[in-house]
Amino acid sequence: MVAPVSDGLPSQLRRGVLEYCVLALLRDGERYGFELVHTLGEIDGMVTSEGTLYPLLGRLRREGVVETTWRESDAGPPRRYYQLTAKGRAALDRFTGEWTRFRDAVDRVLQQRRSR
């Protein structure tokens, strides 16, 4: 399937990286669904549609990199809290190392000028 590149960034690249951004938000403790989605939505350039993050959360649950617990909330209905599993933490650590190398490599290529 061809990824649309209309926004300048292939959607498959954005989609793939987004998974790890969710995991990273959970590194220091659990958060509930709306909190996760809203936090990512607030970051400029991260997502254009907050709603598209819920399918991602479902995927992460199925993959077993996060697990969820329902807790009562003071305001309104119970909330579903997300936390990292051991598998999720390991995946995040691996990604963080690889991403830094990859990002630096891409930056070097993008900034490269041919010397005359």
Partner 1 sequence: MMTATSNRLIRDYLDDFRSLTRDLPKRRRDELLGEIEAHIAEALSPQPSEAEIRAVLDRLGDPEQIAAEERERLGIVPKRAGALEWIAVVLLLIGGIVVPVIGWIVGVVLLWASSVWTVRDKLIGTLVVPGGLLPALYFTVAPVWVTREVCRGVPVQAGPGHVGPGGAIVCTASPTATGRVLGIAILVVLAVAPVLTAIYLARRAKRATVAGA
**One of 23, 25, 37, 84 touching partner 1 (CB under 8 A):** 37
Enumerate residues 8-27 that contact partner 1 by CB under 8 A. Answer: 15
Residue whose CB is less far from partner 1, 64 or 97: 64
Residue closest to 63 by CA, chosen among 30, 40, 98, 92: 92
Total of residues contacting partner 1 (CB under 8 A)? 22
Residues 51/58, Cβ–Cβ less than 8 Å = no
* Binding window for partner 1 (CB under 8 A); candidates: 45-53, 89-97, 98-106, 107-115: 45-53
Task: Locate all alpha helices (DSSP H) within 11-65, ordered by sequence.
Answer: 11-25, 33-42, 53-63
Beta-bridge partners for 29: none
**One of 10, 17, 41, 67 touching partner 1 (CB under 8 A):** 41
User: Is 77 one of the binding residues for partner 1 (CB under 8 A)?
Assistant: yes
Q: What are phi and psi of 68, to 5 degrees?
A: -125, 155
User: Is 45 one of the binding residues for partner 1 (CB under 8 A)?
Assistant: no
The CA-atom distances, in angstroms, between 81 and each of 34, 35, 65, 103 are 9, 9, 14, 31
Applying CB under 8 A, the residues found at the interface with partner 1 are 1, 15, 33-34, 37-38, 41, 48-52, 54-59, 76-77, 79-80
